[in-house]
Amino acid sequence: MDGVDAVLADLSTAVPRLVAQASLPMPAKLKREFLSLNDVGSNELTRASLAANELVRLYAQACEHLLARSGMKATQITAIGAHGQTVRHDPANGYTLQLNAPALLAELTRIAVIADFRTRDVAAGGQGAPLVPGFHAAAFHCGHPRAVLNLGGIANITLLRPGHDVRGFDTGPANVLLDLWSQRHSGQPYDSQGRWAASGKPIPRLLDALVHNEPWFLLPPPKSTGRDLFNEKWLNERLEPFTPLQPKANDVQATLQSLTVTTIAKALHDWAPETEDVLVCGGGTQNTSLMRELADALPCPVAATSDAGIPTQMVEALAFAWLAWAHEHGHAAGLPSVTGARHPTLLGCKYPA
């Protein structure tokens, strides 16, 4: 919810080539509306439709930047892969919902749009998430067991092992709780470079309570999660018993950072102890303190995806360009080994130019 990341990619070669990139911040008002739409509220249908249209106007603007920066014309672009904004994710009950307006995006850009990437996998009994492991496998496979870790609002991990099916799952919160706590205490949308967390010390008993009072962490993969679970209510309920102890706010921030790191380290330890290196992407890579704690906690080298040729902030956008490419080529990118679906599925739905 921090912004729109867009890439123009050439996928005609074995290794995807980044042609241009653009990022637009999410206007504060729209971000507030999406946050509010994540929860039960009044007049949700109208508000969701209007917010989706507004989001897509940002998408169209990002596409204009990409065309201007690359010197290309709309008619030269095969398709736009547009994910939309997730406001509900509950695959156990058979649904996941991304607000999007693909017809409007096709109308504004005159480029074909491929959208709605998650629902077919959910319909086939899968988690509908994470969807990026197929792309991670294409872009980052190597001769040894490797993990690719995305630190967005939620953390998801892809496990690559030569000769084996790709696996992947969400590990829990990456930045979502750090952002919430930072906003509450400093008014800042995030703890820049984790400086505030670094000024505090994790509270062991609180960390223990956060990790052990959440059954979701104990579930085996396939699994996925979102703000439906890890939100303000979740945090408040778990902090409540600690309020009499008056924990310092920066110590709580340090504890939340440790929660992110601990749950990632445990997932790797439990499900891929053979991992020889970890490549990290997503906004969390900008959080120096988080990255330092992660490198200390993991038993193998940790590097940014930029070291493997793709800027950390552009991996997700490139993954959705790749998913659009997969749709165009009839390539089933919904992977049962990741999502637990009954069979591979062709992801997305096309809105012609």
Q: Does residue 228 touch Mg ion according to CB under 5 A?
A: no
Neighbours of 304 (CB within 10 A): 15
Partnered with residue 115 across adjacent β-strands are 349
The site partner of 131 among Mg ion, ligand ADP, none (C-beta below 5 to 8 Å per kind) is: none
3-state helix, strand, coil in the chain (%, to 5): 50, 20, 35
Task: Give me the helix-helix angle, 176-186 and 232-239, nearest 10°.
Answer: 70
Query: CA-to-CA distance for 51 and 54, rounded, in angstroms?
Result: 5
Q: Which is nearer to ligand ADP, 106 or 127 (CB)?
A: 127
Give least dist CB 191 to Mg ion, A. Answer: 16
Partner touching 228 among Mg ion, ligand ADP, none, CB below 5 to 8 Å by kind:
none
Give the residue nearest to ligand ADP (CB).
283
| Residue found under tokens 């547009």 | 82
Nearer to ligand ADP, 283 or 334 (CB): 283
- Cβ partners under 8 Å of residue 351, min gap 6: 102, 103, 105, 106, 112, 113, 114, 115
CB of 163 to ligand ADP, least distance (A): 30
Residue 190's binding partner, choosing from Mg ion, ligand ADP, none, with beta-carbon cut-off 5 to 8 A by kind? ligand ADP
Which residues, numbered 114-153, are part of the site for Mg ion (CB under 5 A)?
Answer: none
Find the part of the chain contacting Mg ion (CB under 5 A) among 2-10, 112-120, 228-236, 296-304: 2-10
Measured distance CA(320)–CA(129) in Å, rounded: 13
76 vs 16: CA distance, rounded Å: 17
Which regions of the chain does DSSP assign to beta strands (E)? 3-10, 17-25, 80-81, 85-90, 95-99, 113-115, 146-151, 154-160, 167-173, 277-281, 302-304, 349-351
Nearer to ligand ADP, 33 or 179 (CB): 179
Cis peptide before 311 (omega within 30 of 0): no
Choose from Mg ion, ligand ADP, none: what does 284 bind? Cβ within 5-8 Å by kind.
Answer: ligand ADP
Among Mg ion, ligand ADP, none, residue 134 binds (CB under 5-8 Å by kind):
none
2 scored as a contact of Mg ion (CB under 5 A): yes
Judged by CB under 5 A, the stretch of 1-9, 106-114, 291-299, 323-331 that binds Mg ion is 1-9
In whole angstroms, the minimum distance from the beta carbon of 83 to ligand ADP comes to 9
Smallest gap, in angstroms, from Cβ of residue 288 to ligand ADP? 7
Vertex 184 angle, CA 190 and 179, to 5°:
30
> Should residue 24 be labelled a site residue for Mg ion when binding is judged by CB under 5 A?
no
* Contact criterion met (CB below 8 Å) for 190 and 179: yes
C-alpha closest to that of 153 among 188, 189, 186, 127: 189
Measured from the CB of residue 152, what is the shortest distance to ligand ADP in angstroms? Answer: 3
Q: Which residue is nearest to Mg ion (CB)?
A: 2
Site residues, ligand ADP (CB under 6 A): 2, 152-153, 175, 178-179, 190-194, 282-284, 286-287, 316
* Interaction partner, residue 282 (ligand ADP, Mg ion, none; CB < 5-8 Å by kind): ligand ADP
Binding footprint of Mg ion on the chain (CB under 5 A):
2
